[in-house]
Amino acid sequence: MNERTAARRETNPTKGGLDLSQVRSIDGVDVRGKRVLVRVDFNVPIENGVVADTTRLTRVLPTIAKLAREEAKVVVLSHLGRPKGTPTPDTSLKLVAVKMQELMPGTAVRFAAAHSGDDAKRVVDALKPGEVTVLENVRYHKGEEKNDRDFAKALAALGDLYVNDAFSSSHRAHASLEAITDLLPSYAGLLMMAEITALGEALEQPERPAMAITGGAKVSTKIEVLTNLVSRMDQLVVGGGMANTLLLAKGFTLGASLVERDFVATAKGIMARADESGCEVVLPIDVVVAKELKPGAAWQLCGAGNVPSEGMILDFGPKSLAELKRRLGQVKTVLWNGPLGAFETPPFGEGTFALAREVARLTKSGKLVSVAGGGDTVRALNEAHVAEDFSYVSTAGGAFLEWLGGAQLPGVVALARSGSRTH
């Protein structure tokens, strides 16, 4: 360990107490004939009665298919939306179960209009080895979000084993994620294992030099993330609206750009912390500026310190891109969260897309390990058609951010704790 790494470890013992090696994988466990409760994250976008994005379904499919192949009776638990204890038509998991059946035609996938109780029990009792039942939204019960032990007991009564394959929900200490692990032998699913391995390696033991790329509108929503990243990574590239507040803290004038004046001191603190731990903060050199944020708006390029009074920074410019490409050529790990411009409004996604293509190219040629996560980020990578070429793309939004911020995720902690006990 070099001095810098040692100092970094000392100033940032964020994952202290959580020993991920205690998390047991379901892989290799004898599940034949057993009722296996699998908590997944089927919180997918539904538009006009159709599942609009099946990523979370296809990513958890290997776990469900494996359990079915090994002749478990598979009972799937999930939430969808935020119904807060009251069923609503648009938060039923029925549609999702139907989609799941389409995605795995060789396996019987059914839906039960109950999450617990006698109705659910009847359905589970009728399951044959190798069959799958998706239970109704666990958030239809008020006990779910309260991490209620009685509700956890009602769920646990439906299974012999519990598997958490919902990394992207595991920042919630809810009954089907946390309390239930006290009641059944608990394991991580294949997707959970992949998520914690990829994210753990990129954040905690990255091949160095390691670069984090972070964007999004506001510093105020990512203070923990920035603080944690500067103490762990060698370079932190900041873009999007967030970069404006950092540029403001450095004394730049930014015209009509989005800035958070109340967070200038915070931004200064983060940059000071970066200095202390030897992390370089990389900000845009040139920027794309427009008077309005709308598709096809007239834009101009200018230096980051030369924004005209009516101009808003909406993307970074070609000089910044060249500098970022030069830096990418020197690092071995890239951890990406947050778009670097107003990418939903063309042409202001060009910077983000070009950088994504370069990360993908270097990853494909074996020069980089690249890990990305967060809803907007994954959307941007999909738009640039490069998500497939990244080393790992997380299914998590909020959970990914909390992990990047150094938080321990209750669902993951519960698995580690359960793994350290013998059942």
Q: Of 169 and 333, which has the nearer Cβ to ligand 3PG?
A: 169
Which one of the listed residues 357, 398, 405, 417 is annotated catalytic?
Answer: 398
**Contact letters for ligand 3PG, residues 117-156 (x by CB under 6 A):** ----------------------------------------
Torsion of CA 101, 107, 111, 115, to 10 degrees: -120
Q: Residue number with the shortest CB distance to ligand 3PG?
A: 43
Could you say which of 66, 208, 218, 319 is catalytic?
A: 218
CA 268/CA 273 separation, integer angstroms: 9
Tell me the window of 11-19, 59-67, 164-172, 404-412 that interacts with ligand 3PG (CB under 6 A). Answer: 164-172
Query: Do residues 29 and 162 touch, judged by C-beta distance below 8 A?
Result: no
Catalytic site includes residue 375: yes
- Both tokens of residue 14? 């964020």
3-class secondary structure, 204 = helix
Strand partners, 264: none
Task: Give the 3-state secondary structure percentages of the chain, helix then strand then coil, rounded to 5.
Answer: 40, 15, 45
Q: Residue 372: is it exposed, middle or buried by C-beta count within 10 angstroms (0-12/13-18/19+)?
A: buried
| CA pair distance 182, 418, nearest whole angstrom | 7
Residue from 278, 305, 398, 405 in contact with ligand 3PG (CB under 6 A): 398
Q: Of the two residues 53 and 344, which places its CB atom closer to ligand 3PG in the complex?
A: 53
Does residue 59 interact with ligand 3PG by CB under 6 A? no
Taking alpha carbons only, the member of 359, 363, 279 closest to residue 351 is: 359
Site residues for ligand 3PG, 238-267, by CB under 6 A, read: none
Please give the Cα distance from 26 to 7 (Å, whole number). Answer: 37
Using CB under 6 A, which residues numbered 200 to 229 contact ligand 3PG? none
Binds ligand 3PG by CB under 6 A, chosen from 12, 63, 133, 168: 168
Please identify which residue in 14, 43, 186, 214 interacts with ligand 3PG, judged by CB under 6 A.
43
Closest CB 275 distance from ligand 3PG, rounded Å:
33
255 belongs to the catalytic site:
no
83 binds ligand 3PG (CB under 6 A): no
List the one residue from 137, 147, 169, 266 that touches ligand 3PG (CB under 6 A). Answer: 169
Q: Exposure of 365 by Cβ count < 10 A (0-12 exposed, 13-18 middle, 19+ buried)?
A: exposed
- Residue 16 bears catalytic tag: no
Q: Which of 95, 103, 170, 172 is nearest to 137 (CA)?
A: 95
The answer to whether 377 contacts ligand 3PG (rule: CB under 6 A) is: no
What's 24's DSSP letter? Answer: P
Catalytic, 406? Answer: no
Cβ closest to ligand 3PG, residue 200 vs residue 398:
398
Neighbours of 266 (CB within 10 A): 18
Q: Write down the least CB distance from residue 403 to ligand 3PG, Å.
A: 12
Question: Among all residues, which ones are annotated catalytic?
Answer: 56, 218, 375, 398
Which residues sit at the interface with ligand 3PG, rule CB under 6 A? Answer: 41, 43, 82, 168-169, 172, 397-398
